[in-house]
Amino acid sequence: MKHRVLIVEDNAANRELLSDWLEAEGYDVLTAADLKTAFSAVENQHPHAVLLDVQLGADDGLQLAHWMRRQARFQHLPVIAVTAHAMVAEESRILQAGCNGYVPKPIDFRQLRESLERCVAASGMASSPD
């Protein structure tokens, strides 16, 4: 079975680009354009990993990572921030929020592939049909 990856990205073009790339890489893709939809998708659609835009319009996408790390059932679900905020101080904030890593925009897809594979393998998340 394929791993399911949730893309949380408010920009439709970026969401489509990530979705197309993930599908070409063999992943099942879920998408959310805002935090409310992202919270619901994590709870109800059981992704194996989350690609999280840090800046979701007026919302801080890291709220999702904070929330997930406080939920026992989601503590080990990999979260990779995909962000235009690539400064050192921002990296620290991203990791402290509970993200397993981050990939700066513009996206280096080789780096994203490596991060995603590493995080999913380290989490022990098995592919499942649910």
Indicate whether 130 pLDDT > 80: no
Give pLDDT tens digits for 24-83.
999 999 999 999 999 999 999 999 999 999 999 889 999 999 999 999 999 999 999 998
Selection from 97, 88, 2, 3 nearest residue 53 by Cα: 97
Q: The whole model's pTM is what?
A: 0.92
- What is the C-alpha to C-alpha distance for residues 89 and 77, in angstroms, rounded to an integer? 24
- Write down all domains in the chain, each with its CATH number in brackets: 4-123 (3.40.50.2300)
State the Cα–Cα distance between residues 80 and 56, nearest whole angstrom: 15
The DSSP code for 86 is -
103 phi-psi bin (left φ>0, alpha ψ -120 to 50, beta other): beta
